[in-house]
Amino acid sequence: MVQSVPPLKIPACYCPIPSLIHPNAAEIDACSVNFLARFGLCEEQQQRERVIAGLNRVAGLTIPRGDQVAVQVASDLAAWIFAFDDICDEGPLGTRPGELIEAMSRLQRAIESPELLVQDDPFAQALRDIRLRLNAVATPVQVARWVDAMRGYFFVEAYKACNIARNVAPNLSDYAFIRVYAAGALAFAVLPHIAEGIDLPSTVWEDRRIRALTEMADSVTMWDSDIFSYAKESHRSGDGHNLIDAVRNTYGYSSGQALKAAVAMRDRVMCRFLQLREEVTAEGDPLIRRYLQGLGHYIRGVLDWCLITDRYVYLDGLSSSSLAFHTAGWRDTPSDDSPEPLPIPSIAWWWSVGATGEASRP
């Protein structure tokens, strides 16, 4: 293997949450490979190899304590998202927002109305299959939350495609909002508590503290994904929609300065997540405590996955290519522990939710 470019040097990321993995993680990955083949989601050989190589026990790491049937649904969704994202990021649809919106509208309809028998669209057929299997392990309210999160995913993918078509790079505040939903992040984050049999009532789910904690967990994982995929994305299909790009463009930083700032930002959000989680957990509701523990496992699982997945470790997503990065991995102290909100308007409210669960007024 010849190293064509020097690997990116990534600082260690703050994560004091211990690592766990589902005991059947390898079997779950193998079933997801069969899922991809059953629906023919990756017809091109190299793309198929990349998606398979990138699984790396992603569901087992992020949902280490869940029911295996439900964790399998999450793993298959991850495989589906990897395959679909590759098409959006590196295929023609990523620069054709009209065609992409049309395709995603059909996908959304397939999960809103699974009674519809989808024809000639393997991605819609596979996503409908995920919806039907989710029906068997989740309540109708939980399924509705997942369907709504998928709608958000498709919406921001359309937004992103419009930006790319117009050669527009988002500022940091817009990008932070996009990243809450992009790559199916929030849709996947809905699944761990379903797999663990945690049924949060709507009054809890809509509590602004719970929403803030869920968005923070989701964003930390997606920012980690941005940080560790940056070298690969820059090498293959850089489109400006990465946290490091957004920081660089907003502040006029070099790539190295933006990388350091991005790690500090995710560390500050991690600190806020842990602080707010402790406050809410102290109220003593065992269901909420389990849900918030699950969010912690999700954060740590994604970080562990980022450190090992061929999807990010190698420039072309396959172990036969050049290394994309070197890193010290994780650390148990933050590089930025400031209690002040990040100066990012779209997410600054995470620091303002109070004891009642409502955001304080300015």
Amino acid at 326: H
CB 43 within 8 A of CB 84: no
Among candidate residues 153, 121, 149, 118, the one with its CA nearest the CA of residue 132: 118
Matching residue, tokens 């790491």: 61
pLDDT value, residue 46: 87
pTM for the model = 0.94
Distances 252 to 246, 257, 282, 298 between C-alpha atoms, Å? 10, 9, 42, 32
Using pLDDT thresholds of 50, 70 and 90, give the confidence band for residue 237: low
Residue 193 is predicted with a pLDDT of 94
Beta-carbon contacts of 58 under 8 Å, excluding residues fewer than 6 positions away, are 75, 78, 301, 302, 305, 309
Name the token pair of 193.
């508590």
Tell me the mean pLDDT in the region 164-174: 92
User: Hey, is 211 helix, strand or coil?
Assistant: helix
pLDDT at residue 360, rounded to an integer: 44
Looking at the predicted structure, is the pLDDT value of residue 54 above 90? yes
What percent of the chain stands above pLDDT 90?
Answer: 81
Distance, CA of 42 to CA of 230 (rounded, Å):
23
Over range 243-269, report the average pLDDT. 96
**219/274 Cα distance (integer angstroms):** 14
What pLDDT is stored for residue 92 in this prediction?
Answer: 74
Pick the CATH number of 20-351 from 3.40.50.970, 1.20.58.1000, 1.10.600.10, 3.40.50.620: 1.10.600.10
Average pLDDT over residues 225-250: 88
227/306 Cα distance (integer angstroms)? 9
Average pLDDT over residues 42-51: 89
Question: Strand 13-14 vs strand 330-331: parallel, antiparallel, or unpaired?
Answer: parallel
Residue 242 neighbours by CB under 8 Å, 6+ apart = 226, 229, 230, 233
Measured distance CA(94)–CA(108) in Å, rounded = 18
pLDDT band, residue 309 (cuts 50/70/90): very high
pLDDT above 70 covers what percent of the chain?
Answer: 96
CB atoms < 10 A from the CB of 336, how many? 17
Cα→Cα distances 118→108, 152, 280, 361, Å: 12, 22, 43, 47
pLDDT in tens, 93-120: 777 899 999 999 999 999 999 999 888 9
Q: What is the per-residue pLDDT for 121?
A: 94
pLDDT at 1 over 50: no
DSSP string of 119-174, one letter each residue: -S-HHHHHHHHHHHHHHHHS-HHHHHHHHHHHHHHHHHHHHHHHHHHTT----HHH
Tokens describing residue 111: 């999960």
Q: What's the whole-number mean pLDDT along residues 249-258? A: 95
Query: Does residue 257 carry a pLDDT above 90?
Result: yes
- The encoded tokens of residue 50 equal 């990349």
> What average pLDDT does the chain have?
93
What is the rounded distance in angstroms from the CA atom of residue 268 to the CA atom of residue 329? 17
Would you say residue 272 has pLDDT above 70?
A: yes
Q: How many CB atoms lie within 10 A of CB 9?
A: 12
- Taking residue 46's Cβ as centre, other Cβ atoms within 10 Å add up to 11
pLDDT at 361: 38
* pLDDT value for 362: 36
User: Which pLDDT score, from 0 to 100, does residue 359 have?
Assistant: 52
Neighbouring C-beta atoms of residue 177, cutoff 10 Å: 19
Using alpha carbons, list the distances in angstroms from residue 329 to 14, 62, 263.
9, 17, 12
Higher pLDDT, 147 or 160: 147
The answer on pLDDT for 180 being more than 70 is: yes
Nearest to 296 by CA among 201, 211, 192: 192
